[in-house]
């Protein structure tokens, strides 16, 4: 084993530069004419279809954008859809990059920064997760009030890019209190039960062990999942107002006496997509 084997990919891979982000943004802008997005919709399992509802659509594949990584997770298309949705100019990400695909958090957050350069100031991020809070049920929607990320390098490791934000960004209000109130109002109007809780990031791809889930609960988590946090940190750094909503697709490991499966998570995500999407569209409309 040579010395470099002791480093993680994060430590050896060169970081992106501001010019890289600008190059990606310029390439996308060349497809968009005068159109500029105001809202980034970063959609997790089950909600990618909202991209197909976008009107006056322009699609740009991640594979065609310089510096972009491919999205390899099942059910993730790997493209942006730009256009109008519920009266808002949106950039919908059909497919996101997860660290478990072999990407760094910086890779996972890359798109958020590019879309910020194109003008978006609001990010709506969704995911599927396992419920840690035993008062929750599978199928519950949860507004993310805060997150816990204890593992792994972060998306801001490396030289700070001052054009995006400060070296030591405040994380007191990553998930906008204003947007959370708005989402609660929309949920009330739609008579949807909406929980509010803390999302704890685990890198995956293996589901957590029951002991990890118990630890997460003691630490204050209500749900555990493998996405969202890399993007949310980078998005908070560069000044997005963020709304995060989780579908608790299953009870986390050890809560129920049954094993977890990726198929079950995807099935639940599909099954609850109508409620989930109507909440997200309601919020989008009211932004």
Binding site for ligand HPA (CB under 6 A): 128-130, 202, 207-208, 224-226, 249-250, 252, 260, 265
Smallest distance, ligand HPA to C-beta of residue 52, A: 23
Burial class (CB in 10 A: 0-12, 13-18, 19+), 153: middle
**By C-beta, is 34 or 263 nearer to ligand HPA?**
263
Spell out a b/e string for 228-241, using b for 16 or more CB atoms within 10 Å of the CB, else e. bbbbbbbbbbbebb
Which DSSP category does 32 fall into?
A: H
**By C-beta, is 7 or 151 nearer to ligand HPA?**
151
**By C-beta, is 233 or 252 nearer to ligand HPA?**
252
Cα–Cα distance measured from residue 102 to residue 11, given in angstroms and rounded to the nearest whole number: 14
Smallest distance, ligand HPA to C-beta of residue 246, A: 9
Smallest distance, ligand HPA to C-beta of residue 210, A: 11
**By C-beta, is 145 or 266 nearer to ligand HPA?**
266
Smallest distance, ligand HPA to C-beta of residue 81, A: 23
Cα–Cα distance measured from residue 217 to residue 198, given in angstroms and rounded to the nearest whole number: 10
Smallest distance, ligand HPA to C-beta of residue 248, A: 8
Query: In 3-state terms, what secondary structure has residue 149?
Result: coil
Cα–Cα distance measured from residue 17 to residue 220, given in angstroms and rounded to the nearest whole number: 36
For ligand HPA, the nearest residue by Cβ is 130
Query: In 3-state terms, what secondary structure has residue 248?
Result: strand
The alpha helices in the chain, defined as continuous H runs, are 9-12, 18-32, 105-117, 177-189, 210-219, 229-237, 262-286
Q: Are 241 and 14 in contact (CB under 8 A)?
A: no
**By C-beta, is 115 or 249 nearer to ligand HPA?**
249
**By C-beta, is 43 or 224 nearer to ligand HPA?**
224
Smallest distance, ligand HPA to C-beta of residue 130, A: 2
């Amino acid at each position: 084993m040579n010395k470099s084997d002791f480093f993680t990919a994060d430590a050896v891979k060169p970081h992106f530069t501001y010019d890289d982000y600008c190059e990606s943004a310029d390439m996308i802008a060349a497809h968009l004419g005068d159109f500029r997005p105001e809202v980034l919709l970063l959609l997790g399992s089950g909600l990618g279809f909202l991209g197909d509802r976008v009107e006056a659509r322009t699609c740009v594949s991640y594979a065609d954008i310089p510096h972009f990584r491919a999205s390899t997770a099942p059910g993730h298309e790997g493209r942006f859809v730009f256009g109008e949705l519920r009266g808002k100019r949106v950039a919908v990400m059909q497919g996101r990059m997860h660290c478990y695909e072999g990407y760094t958090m910086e890779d996972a957050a890359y798109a958020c920064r590019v879309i910020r350069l194109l003008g978006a100031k609001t990010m709506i991020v969704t995911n599927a997760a396992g419920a840690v809070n035993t008062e929750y049920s599978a199928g519950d929607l949860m507004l993310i009030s805060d997150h816990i990320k204890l593992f792994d390098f972060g998306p801001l490791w490396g030289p700070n890019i001052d054009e995006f934000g400060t070296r030591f960004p405040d994380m007191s209000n990553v998930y906008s209190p204003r947007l959370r109130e708005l989402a609660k109002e929309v949920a009330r109007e739609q008579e949807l039960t909406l929980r509010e809780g803390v999302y704890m990031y685990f890198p995956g791809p293996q589901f957590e062990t029951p002991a990890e889930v118990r630890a997460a609960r003691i630490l204050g988590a209500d749900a555990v999942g493998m996405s969202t946090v890399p993007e949310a940190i980078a998005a908070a750094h560069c000044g997005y107002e963020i709304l995060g909503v989780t579908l608790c697709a299953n009870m986390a490991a050890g809560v129920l006496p049954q094993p977890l499966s990726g198929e079950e998570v995807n099935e639940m995500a599909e099954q609850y997509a109508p409620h989930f999407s109507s909440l997200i569209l309601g919020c989008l409309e009211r932004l």
